[in-house]
């Protein structure tokens, strides 16, 4: 089972867990409907687009409402800590949650009793908490943008707002150096996909692929395009792809979807998600993987 965990910006949702279905322009978990192009919804929607196109099991979601006060985040973590062994997710993806360090540490402790241990993915607030709590090496995949990459590389920062200025101002082309620093300082997951004008995929401190084509600069202006990449990685990994290859393919699909959609800065991310199945129909994932995987064998 793929389990995606995150908060939604409302006070009206206590906690809901179940299989995700698409109903019109919305997503639905049990009786709760929410937008498919907003925050955690964008990640789930992209994941669902891939699983549907490939004919594999759709994701499940665990959601709670939180408008920044932390109650929803605490409910999510407490539920996971108590129930993750019985849920038995193969892939556990943590997304928009307040970065409460002690809770993610307790979750990682609970995961030690899961057999087999799920593949762990983190983005946004969950990624911040994992890094700040010294849990980054226990995660399989992080999906930062360049400024978040600076946070992962800074051994002293407990939150992206506190990143050393010289790291925060680093140009995209200097991301490979930040990647090395993050692995050296224990701030990186096993695999990093750094999302930006150039997408970098790295493992063990080495950049394994650099993706910059097709060049669709308009994607940089559209909120949620990083969430879609994370959702696709989760789906492809759930479909049996090696996580490193899934990261490479997802970065490429995102760019191709933007190109096919004729993206402008005003394009909603939900529109881009509609093109994910179109890209998968036009491009075999094996081709995308072979094209961009560049192992350093020396």
Q: How far apart are CA 33 and CA 100, in angstroms?
A: 27
Give pLDDT, residue 159: 63
Contact yes or no for 229/250 (Cβ under 8 A): yes
Long-range CB pairs of 81-87, under 8 A, 24+ apart, other chains included: 81/106, 81/107, 81/110, 84/110, 84/111, 84/114, 84/118, 85/110, 85/113, 85/114, 87/1, 87/3
pLDDT in tens, the chain (298 residues): 999 999 999 888 999 999 999 998 899 999 999 988 888 999 999 999 999 999 999 999 999 999 988 999 999 999 999 999 999 999 999 999 988 999 999 999 999 999 899 999 999 899 999 999 999 999 999 999 988 998 999 888 766 655 555 444 556 678 999 999 999 999 999 999 999 889 999 998 899 999 988 989 888 888 888 899 999 999 999 999 999 999 999 999 999 999 999 989 999 999 999 999 999 988 766 666 665 554 333 3
Domains annotated on the chain, with CATH = 2-292 (3.40.1190.20)
3-state secondary structure string, 83-115?
Answer: HHHHHCCCEEEECCCCCCHHHHHHHHHHHCCCC
Q: What is the pLDDT of residue 298?
A: 31
So what's the pLDDT on residue 166? 47
- Position 297 scores a pLDDT of 36
State residue 292's pLDDT score: 56
Residues in the chain: 298
**pTM listed for this prediction:** 0.91
Interatomic CA distance for residues 23 and 143, integer angstroms: 28
């Amino acid at each position: 089972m793929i389990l995606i965990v995150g908060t939604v910006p409302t006070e009206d949702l206590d906690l809901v867990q179940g299989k995700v279905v698409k109903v019109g322009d919305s997503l639905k978990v049990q009786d709760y409907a929410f937008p498919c192009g907003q925050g955690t919804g964008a990640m789930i929607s992209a994941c669902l687009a891939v699983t549907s196109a490939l004919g594999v099991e759709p994701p499940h979601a665990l959601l709670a409402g939180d408008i920044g006060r932390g109650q929803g985040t605490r409910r999510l973590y407490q539920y996971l800590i108590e129930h993750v062994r019985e849920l038995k997710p193969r892939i556990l993806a943590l997304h928009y949650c307040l970065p409460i360090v002690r809770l993610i540490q307790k979750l990682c402790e609970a995961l030690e009793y899961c057999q087999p241990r799920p593949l762990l993915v983190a983005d946004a607030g969950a990624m911040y908490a994992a890094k700040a709590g010294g849990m980054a090496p226990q995660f399989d995949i992080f999906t930062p943008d360049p400024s978040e990459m600076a946070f992962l590389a800074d051994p002293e920062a407990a939150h992206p707002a506190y990143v050393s200025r010289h790291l925060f101002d680093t140009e995209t082309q200097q991301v490979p150096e930040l990647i090395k620093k993050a692995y050296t300082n224990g701030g990186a997951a096993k695999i990093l996909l750094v999302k930006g004008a150039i997408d970098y995929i790295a493992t063990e401190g080495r950049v394994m692929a650099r993706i910059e084509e097709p060049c669709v600069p308009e994607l940089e202006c559209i909120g949620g395009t990083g969430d879609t990449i994370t959702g696709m990685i989760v789906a492809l990994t759930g479909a049996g792809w090696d996580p490193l290859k899934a990261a490479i393919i997802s970065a490429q699909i995102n760019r191709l979807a933007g190109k096919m959609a004729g993206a402008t800065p005003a394009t909603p991310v939900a529109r881009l998600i509609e093109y994910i199945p179109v890209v998968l129909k036009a491009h075999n994932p094996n081709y995308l993987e072979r094209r961009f995987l560049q192992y350093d064998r020396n």
